[in-house]
Amino acid sequence: MREAIIRLESVSKLYPTGSGNFRAINNISLVFTKGEFCGLVGPSGSGKTTLLNILGSLDTPTEGTAKVLGRDIGKLTHKESAQLRNYHIGFIFQTYNLLPVYTVFENVEFTLLLQRKTAVERKKLVMDSLEWVGIADKAKSMPAQLSGGECQRVAIARAMVKRPDIVLADEPSANLDAENSIRIVETMKQLNMEFLTTFIFATHDEKVMKFLDRIIHLKDGMVELDKIINKTS
Amino acid sequence: MIALKLAIRNLTGAKLRTFLNAAVLSFAFVVLVFYMGLLDGWNRQSKLDMEAWEIGEGQLWSKSYDPFDPYSLQDAHSIILTSYNSEIDRGNITPILLVQGSIYRQGTLINIIISGIEPKQRLLKIPSRVLKSESKEVPAIIGSRFAKVNGIKKGDYVQIRWRDKNGTFDALDVEICNIFKTNVSTVDNNRIWIPIKRLQEMSGLLKEATILVTSNPNIDMPPTDWIFRDKKYLEKEIDNIIFAKKRGSIVVTILLLSIGLLAIFDTQVLSIFRRQKEIGTYIALGMTRMEVVKLFTLEGSIHSIFALILATIYGLPLLAIIASTGIPMPSAVDEMGVSIGEKIFPYYEIGVLIVSVLIMVLAATTVSYFPSRRIGRLNPIDALKGKIK
């Protein structure tokens, strides 16, 4: 049994609305272990992104406790949650969110700069990361010069360059064609197996689901089904 | 250091936007420096002219002399000490005798001050050499403004009236043998300059003077009827005018700086809306909100550094050329009675430049910080979704 790196206990997230509170996620208890390749699946408004945001310490639960790598997300200061994200959590966004004025290399290098790594270390790590995703030759390109698939590869390289414990991917294939979607997920799967990084996706892409070891179906903010498909160890 | 590196990278990456902001700010800065240089140049020129034409390195005043009270002139004269004679001969002291008088021109009686000056003096720029005349006629020189206002030309004879020491009125025709141009109104307006010896004879004030202009600021002064007025005292009035002018220039300074700073402020406000996904990404990648605030504030500050570099590239040669060639003043200014040179040479004081640079950087930082503070309060999830309103 692999170690648990994320524990959610009775987590709810409420948003105030005109007619009371809206429960985006409702009393969810889950455990994620190291090296999982897992997907949060469900229709729009089911709470996938809200759950990812809490796991990524971008948001806090209204009720319950969410512990990531032993840290209680609800009790972290801004600085502590920033450090958690910087060292341990990688993000992949649907719209890539690459910094437009930076080159591919600089985009990937960004988190390492925040970690105050030396230039030599940064260069090695960035180039390794770009090699993994197969776009080392585009290191000097600007994001605007890349295709959607290439942009998402840069985003993966950026998420992986710091060798995080967890990568959170919000609809990573939503803006990609079928061929690119499969390639991207294959790349992530390889990295997952190589580094035992936990990948958690929010997706409703069937092509992505085929690669998942665990699928958590969410509906109306609650876990409808938690299904382990294929254990990696 | 990282924030600085990122800010520079962001700005250089934003190319045209950064260039336009820096260009506007640099233009405002160059105009500001030029304006302040113009004021300083004007002030400096006024002081130098005043020293050259009127006050030298200081003046000894007859005890009763009060330049703001024309009625005091009648008694404002003292015997020139014999101990000063050698200094007068060497040209280190120029005695001036002032006597109240009047002329009748164009149907109007005009009050004047008849000013006696030693023709051979070289201490002041007043062209007194032309007053060396062997003829019986009394030679006189006047300033161009006084000549113009009263329609006096070179070669004209002007009848002057005065009272001698006993209070008796007397009159005499003087020949205008030169009209000089000066920026110092007090040696021009309503002044007729004649040889001091002639005026002493005319007024009966032999060997007396009202003012002794000296080239020595540490003149030896025995206890007598004379009071020494140093340059600081004599320039007090012009210093006050300069101070008032500079205070008034603050408004122009604020207006000029505002033009450039408005561009930065506008950019910063727009940035928070336009770059909200970027802000959300920074936070997701591990920056704290305050680090993002710092980054955006620094970007604003660095605009001012870029503006300074840009200003140095085109402004420095431009200002240097203007400083050497000067700016011609329209003759209308002179006609309005404002004492001003034909050209003003801007003068740039290093202290003023440093203060201007500091003010600009500080102001740019401040106007960048205020909109950026908003980042500290925003929700990173809303930022990532681009939902900030």
For A54-81, the DSSP string reads: HHTTSS--SEEEEEETTEEGGG--HHHH
Q: Is there a domain that residue B349 lies in?
A: yes
Containing domain of residue B199, as a range?
A: 58-216
User: Which residue is listed with tokens 């305050």?
Assistant: B290
CB contacts < 8 A (A, B): 63
Regarding whether B208 and B74 lie in a shared domain, the answer is yes
Regarding whether B266 and B159 lie in a shared domain, the answer is no
Highest mean pLDDT among B9-18, B165-174, B195-204, B211-220 belongs to: B195-204
Mean pLDDT of B321-329: 88
Count the residues in chain A.
Answer: 233
Mean pLDDT of B194-205: 92
Residue A111: which of B6, B13, B285 has the nearest Cβ?
A: B285
Q: Is there a domain that residue B340 lies in?
A: yes
pLDDT: is B146 or B253 the higher one?
B146
With a CB cutoff of 8 Å and minimum separation 6, the contacts of B74 are B100, B163
Regarding whether B177 and B247 lie in a shared domain, the answer is no
Percent share of chain B, pLDDT over 90: 35
Regarding whether B371 and B269 lie in a shared domain, the answer is yes
Q: Is B261 strand, coil or helix?
A: helix
Q: Is there a domain that residue B226 lies in?
A: no
- Which ranges of chain A have pLDDT less than 70? 1, 230-233
Q: How far is B267 from chain A (nearest CA, A)?
A: 16
Regarding whether B65 and B17 lie in a shared domain, the answer is no
Backbone φ and ψ for B29, nearest 5 degrees, come out as -65, -45
DSSP run (H or E) holding A95: none
Mean pLDDT of B192-211: 92
Regarding whether B94 and B28 lie in a shared domain, the answer is no
The CATH superfamily label for domain A4-228 reads: P-loop containing nucleotide triphosphate hydrolases (3.40.50.300)
Regarding whether B275 and B156 lie in a shared domain, the answer is no
- Note whether A79 contacts B288, CB cutoff 8 Å: yes
Q: Sorting pLDDT into bands at 50, 70 and 90, what band is B43? A: confident
> Domains in chain B: how many in total?
2
Instruction: Find out whether B323 and B42 touch, Cβ atoms under 8 Å.
Output: no
Q: What is the pLDDT of residue A232?
A: 47
> What's the rounded Cα separation, in Å, for the pair B181 and B154?
13
> What's the rounded Cα separation, in Å, for the pair B213 and B18?
58
Chain A contact for B286, CB < 8 A? yes
Report the b/e string of A63-77 with b at 16+ CB within 10 A: ebebbbeebebbebe
Q: What is the pLDDT of residue B39?
A: 84
pTM for the predicted model, two decimal places: 0.74
Average pLDDT of the residues of chain A:
91
Q: Is there a domain that residue B130 lies in?
A: yes
Q: Is there a domain that residue B231 lies in?
A: no
pLDDT: is B377 or B114 the higher one?
B114
Instruction: Report pLDDT digits (tens) over B68-90.
Output: 887 888 888 999 888 888 888 88
Q: What is the pLDDT of residue A233?
A: 44
Mean pLDDT of B261-271: 82
- Classify residue A196 as left (phi > 0), alpha (psi -120 to 50) or beta: left
Q: Is there a domain that residue B6 lies in?
A: yes
> What's the rounded Cα separation, in Å, for the pair B184 and B237?
13
Poorest-pLDDT segment among A6-10, B8-12, B334-338: B334-338
Q: What is the pLDDT of residue B333?
A: 58
With a CB cutoff of 8 Å and minimum separation 6, the contacts of B205 are B77, B97, B99, B165, B199
Regarding whether B122 and B68 lie in a shared domain, the answer is yes
Instruction: Find out whether B267 and B24 touch, Cβ atoms under 8 Å.
Output: no
Q: What is the pLDDT of residue B338?
A: 54
Instruction: Find out whether A66 and A89 touch, Cβ atoms under 8 Å.
Output: no
Q: How far is B389 from chain A (nearest CA, A)?
A: 17
With a CB cutoff of 8 Å and minimum separation 6, the contacts of B39 are B242, B245, B246, B249
Q: Sorting pLDDT into bands at 50, 70 and 90, what band is B331? A: low
Q: Is there a domain that residue B229 lies in?
A: no
This model of the complex carries an ipTM of 0.92
Q: Is there a domain that residue B322 lies in?
A: yes
| Range 168-227 of A in CB contact (< 8 A) with B | none
- Note whether B384 contacts A93, CB cutoff 8 Å: yes
Regarding whether B346 and B272 lie in a shared domain, the answer is yes
- Note whether A113 contacts B287, CB cutoff 8 Å: no
